[in-house]
Structures are given as structure tokens and as C-alpha cells.
Structure 1
Amino acid sequence: MARGGSSAGGASIWPWLAWAVVIFLADQFTKVLILGYYKLGDATYITSFFNIVRAHNTGAAFSFLANAGGWQRWAFTGIGLAAAVFIIWQLRAHPGQKLFCFSLSSILGGAIGNVVDRMQHGYVVDFLDFHLSGRHFPAFNIADSAITVGAVCLILDELLRVKRSK
């Protein structure tokens, strides 16, 4: 992945790692609260479209491979750790590219949050539960939200890079 102007005169990786840590801590703190105050399946109805619920996800996004027999815990843990190493390598290579690094550090914080869950519990703790007009979205957490925002911003960064190169 070639990126023009990869280093902005002395830009540092540390602010990006700090952002990843903030996401990780917020994710873990909210999960500790859910694990401490809710039993599996317990829910608090907040609005007509949003609930707080304790759910366990042994799979990936949208419970993909949740019933695969257990091997997926280690596969997703390995993928998360490999992604973290790759992201840190990219952050070191391009610390001055703000949107790119924001994207990657958001994904990093979320990925590590979910890896810690898999290692500690064997599942990811989910609790944000949205539904609308009879349609239900799978429960998710702060880590998943950060990964999603990071992925959207990464796509935006690439679209802006392509536009600038024309």
C-alpha cells in the first residue's frame, strides 16, 4: 500500500496509539459494567428503538461462525493480533496522515478490545441493541463501533487520496 508523503516532518505515532488506548479503555470499562450488572439475556429498554442487553458473541461480525465449534475463538484472536501488528507498522510508516492514522488507530483500539474479550471469556461481550420497524440489528459494543467508524474513515481517506492524485 503505497502512500504519498508518508511522514510529516517529525510526526509521532504516540497520539495515534493514545487514541487506540482511549477506545480500548472505554470498550473494556463498558463491558465490565455490563458483566457486573447484567446476566446473559438481561435487557434495559431505553427507547422504542434502543436497548442495553447483555449478549455473548463467539463469532465475528453479525455472529458470523458463532456456532463453528470453538476453533473460531483462536482464529479470530489470531486475525486480531495480526491486524494489530500490521496497523502499528502502518502507523509508524505514516504518522502524519491524520485521517489514515485516525482510521487505523480506531480499528486498532476496537480490535484489541475484542481480542481481550475472546482471550478472557471465549466470546465478545455485546450490549448495544438497536431495532426499527420490526427489524433487529445484532447487538454490538464500543469496539465494534470504533472498528466500523475506522473502516468508513479508511475508505474516505482512500477516496480523498485518489481524488487528490487526479
Structure 2
Amino acid sequence: MGLVTRAALILFVLDQAVKIFVVQWLGLAHRLAIDVVPPFFNLRMAWNRGMNFGLFANDAGIVRWGLVVIALAVSAWVLWWVRRLPQRPAVLISAGVLVGGALGNAVDRVVYGAVADFINMSCCGLTNPFAFNLADIGIFAGAFGLVLFSGRDKVS
């Protein structure tokens, strides 16, 4: 199993396990809010039917399934892109983390009809109204890593 696959699998399994624990086992889907270390770290249930920050959110099935298709297409393209030439390990791990996050959110859309977001962090007198999840962190970190580490000193 290559680095891309391992990174994707680890992020995907961790994301889904945390979502099951927080949303179902802790009952956040019904409780809606759990203060953990206020205001720095709290759990706030948010069902995201759109993209980042709820953009293009609505209950139309076409949006839901369209976002699933986009996540699968982006994942396939990233996998193709990093596998076409030898890459540094940091690029492969970044690609895997991005793909694992994209697939984690795609599974949410299939299972729940929306992405389960619940991590809410605020600091320094600023209240953050948004919530996110581990898959979102993976997508952001993976994309950032691809930008940061690709295109330099490729492995031959």
C-alpha cells in the first residue's frame, strides 16, 4: 500500500470514527452544542448541505449528488496527477490527506444527505459562527501541502 493510499485511509477512517463518536455516541445531532473548553474549543452541530461555509447550500438532490460527483472527480484527478510522475513523500501524503477528506465528506452526503460539521473554535474575543470537521482539515491541509511541496525537486 503506497503513501497516498495509507494517508487517505488514515484520514478517512479517523474522520468517520470521530463523526460517529461525536454526532451519534455523544448525541450532538440532538444536543446541538457541547462546550468542551469554551470559547476555544466547542462542539456545535451544523449540517452543511453546500460547499465551504455553506455556499450553494440547499436541499435539492442535484446539489447533494453533484457535490458527491465533484468530490469523486477531484479525488480521481489528484490521484492521477500525483501518480503520473515520481513525487516526494510530502506530495504523496498531502494528496492522500486531501483525498481522504474529500471522500469522508462525500460519504456524509450519501449517508446523511449533508456533511456533519461540529468543530467550533473561537479566540481572543472573536466568536466564530462556523463549524468544520476533520475531513475539512484534511482537504485544506492536503491542498496546502500540494501547493507547498509540489513542483520542486521531484524524485526521479
- Runs of 4+ in structure 1 deviating by more than 4 angstroms, as ranges, are none
Equivalent residue letter for 1:49: F
Distance 1:113 1:130 in 2: 21
What does residue 10 of structure 1 align with? none
Q: 2: distance between equivalents of 1:33 and 1:109?
A: 18
Match of 1:102 among 93, 96, 100: 93
Structure 2: state its 5+ residue gaps.
Answer: none
Structure 1: stretches of 5+ with no match in the other structure: 1-12
- In structure 2, the residue matched to 1:34 is 22
Q: Which has the greater radius of gyration?
A: 1
Partner of 1:153: 145
Do the aligned partners of 2:47 and 2:117 also contact (CA within 8 Å) in 1?
Answer: yes
Residue deviations 1:66-125 (CA, integer Å, cap 9, x gap): 136342111110100111211221232235422221211110000000011111111001
What is aligned with 1:140? 132
Task: Work out whether residues 51 and 57 of structure 2, in 8 Å CA contact, stay in contact via their aligned partners in 1.
Answer: yes
Could you tell me whether the CA contact under 8 Å between 1:40 and 1:55 is conserved in 2? Answer: no
TM-superposed deviation, 1:19: 1.1
* Partner residue, 1:57: 48
**Aligned partners of 2:82 and 2:95 also within 8 Å:** yes
Q: Percent identity?
A: 32
1:157 Cα deviation after fit: 1.7
Task: Please give the alpha-carbon distance, in whole angstroms, between the structure 2 residues aligned to 1:40 and 1:61.
Answer: 23
Note the aligned Cα RMSD (angstroms): 2.1
Deviation at 1:46, TM superposition (A): 1.7
Could you state the TM-score of these two structures normalised by the residue count of structure 2?
0.85
Q: Distance in 2 between matches of 1:69 and 1:29?
A: 27
The partner residue of 2:64 within 47, 54, 73 is 73
- Inter-partner Cα distance in structure 1 for 2:59 and 2:74: 22
Task: Tell me the CA shift for residue 41 of structure 1.
Answer: 5.6
CA distance in 2, matches of 1:95, 1:142: 28
